[in-house]
Structure 1
Amino acid sequence: MRIRRLGSDEKQAWDDYVAAHPQALPYHRHAWKDAVEAAYGFEGIYLVAEEQGRIDGVLPLVLFSWPLLGQRLISLPYCDAGGILAENESIAARLLAGARILAQRPPFSALEIRCRHPLSGQETGGGGINKVRMVLDLPQGGDKLMSGLKAKLRSQIKKPERDGLYARLGGGELLAEFYAVFAENMRDLGSPVHSRLWFEEILKAFGQQAAIGVIYSPEGRPAAAGILLRNGKLACVPWASSLRCFKHLNPNMLLYWTFLSFAADNGSEKFDFGRSTQGEGSWRFKKQWGAEPEPLYWETFSAEKRWASNAAAGGKSRRWAEAVWRRLPLETTSYLGPKVRRFISL
Structure 2
Amino acid sequence: MLVLRPVEPTDLPQLQQLARDSLVGVTSLPDDSERLREKITRSCASFDTDAVTHGPENYFFVLEDLSTQRLVGCSEILATAGFNEPFYSLRNRHFTSASRELNIEHGVPALSLCHDLSGHTLLRGFHINANRVRTPFSELLSRARLLFIAAHAPRFAEAVITEIVGYSDEKGRSPFWDALGKHFFDLPYAEAERLCGLQSRTFLAELMPQYPIYVPMLPQAAQACIGRIHPDGQEAFDILEREGFETNSYIDLFDAGPTLYARTANIRSIAHSRTASVEQTPQVDARGRYLLSNDALHGFRAIVAELDYHPDQSLALTPAMCAALNVTDGGAVRLITL
User: TM-score higher than 0.5 here?
Assistant: no
Q: Report the structure number with the largest CA radius of gyration.
A: 2
Q: Which has the higher helix share?
A: 1
TM-score in terms of structure 2 length? 0.37
Q: Which structure carries more relative contact order (alpha carbon 8 Å, separation 6+)?
A: 1
TM-score in terms of structure 1 length? 0.36
